[in-house]
Amino acid sequence: MKNPFRNLKVLIIGDVMLDRYVTGTIERISPEAPVPVVRYESETLRLGGAANVALNVAVLGAKPILCSVVGRDSFGKKFCESMEVAGLSSDGIHISKKRQTTVKTRILAGQQQVIRIDREDTFALRKKEEQKILEKVNSILEKEKIGLVIFQDYNKGVLTKKVIKNVIRQAQKRNILTAADPKKKNFWTYKKISLFKPNLAEIRAMLPFVVGTDAKSLQKAGRFIRKKLGNMHTFITLSEHGIFTDDGKEQEIIPTRPRAVRDVCGAGDTVISVAACALAIGKSAQEAARLANIAGGQVCEKAGVVPVDFAQLQREYSENK
């Protein structure tokens, strides 16, 4: 069967990171402090943040083009090497002397996370680097027939107000669908975005009234967002309660099915990837939300940051129609 995503080219802009997993065993408590001693066994690196969005887009069969910033450091080199191994181009990656590569190190004992260590810079891009990213984006938009732009924001500084506004404006000129997975800092900057996909916690933090998981409360939130942003679609992810969709005409809560949740890391990356790509190929908001719901649930059943399994997604979607 023909893959409906195979002709879709997706430009992804946002914060990238490496998810580093250090695994070991705990055999004793340290004599120096009341903390466990983890005996090192192995270490793995996985692409995270906007790079995980790129992985998900690639798994669907579409072509991802990633624009972001990493540091001129050993982890920046490892990031680009990991991109190459995954079959992703690093042409849109700017190597910065002014920033360090974001790395989230998780120390694991068996399946239990003992501690997480974040190595990162969170200040906004300096003007010269901001311009470098915009030049890369504009070059890609000129050369490639992009059908979708995804903003993946982790508040690490790549998505400045100028970058967001400029790219949305350029996409609008070309009638390109846009989608954003926002964070608090630039939450209301995504004006005229096609798909706005916050989660419930973000909505509760940013709206001036209490938002519950009932239809009436979410419909009120959807109306408020549309008035502020003038967006086409609002998807609010509700964890185990599913996804609320609002396309300006219909509002619906798409329920999720019960799953054995193992790790929620990267689920948001998967949801925005699948939902936005589905809308870009002409799926309805309800169909896109159902696909994204299934995809997000799948990755929550697996340990660590992993992209969706496309064959499994197709199978589950067909079974749940």
Q: What is the pLDDT of residue 274?
A: 93
Q: What is the pLDDT of residue 307?
A: 76
Q: What is the DSSP string of 252-305?
A: EEE----------TTHHHHHHHHHHHHHHTT--HHHHHHHHHHHHHHHHTSSSS
Q: Provide the β-strand partners of residue 115.
A: 107
**Residue 4 belongs to a domain:** no
Q: What is the pLDDT of residue 239?
A: 84
Q: What is the pLDDT of residue 112?
A: 86
Which residues, 6+ apart, have CB-to-CB distance to 222 below 8 Å?
234, 236, 244, 246, 251
Name the 3-class secondary structure at 169: helix
Distance CA 41, CA 27 (A): 13
Q: What is the pLDDT of residue 265?
A: 66
DSSP state letter for 199: B
**Residue 106 belongs to a domain:** yes
Q: What is the pLDDT of residue 263?
A: 54
Q: Dihedral sign, CA of 289, 291, 293, 299?
A: negative
Say what the pTM is.
Answer: 0.93
Q: What is the pLDDT of residue 259?
A: 58
Query: Active-site residue numbers?
Result: 269
* Domain that residue 178 falls in: 9-26+36-313
Q: Provide the β-strand partners of residue 151.
A: 13, 180
**Residue 319 belongs to a domain:** no
Q: What is the pLDDT of residue 20?
A: 96
CB 269 within 8 A of CB 319: no
- The domain that contains 99 carries what CATH number? 3.40.1190.20
Which residues, 6+ apart, have CB-to-CB distance to 301 below 8 Å?
259, 260, 261, 262
**Residue 321 belongs to a domain:** no
Considering its fold, how many domains does the chain have in total? 1
**Residue 274 belongs to a domain:** yes
Per-residue pLDDT of the chain (321 residues; tens, 9 = 90+): 578 899 999 999 999 999 999 999 998 999 999 999 999 999 999 999 999 999 999 999 999 999 999 999 999 999 999 999 999 999 999 999 999 999 999 999 987 899 999 999 999 999 999 999 999 999 999 999 999 999 999 999 999 999 999 999 999 999 999 999 999 999 999 999 999 999 999 999 999 999 999 999 999 999 999 999 999 999 999 988 889 999 989 999 988 776 555 555 668 898 999 999 999 999 999 999 998 888 877 766 666 667 777 777 777 767 776
**Residue 196 belongs to a domain:** yes
Distance CA 186, CA 164 (A): 9
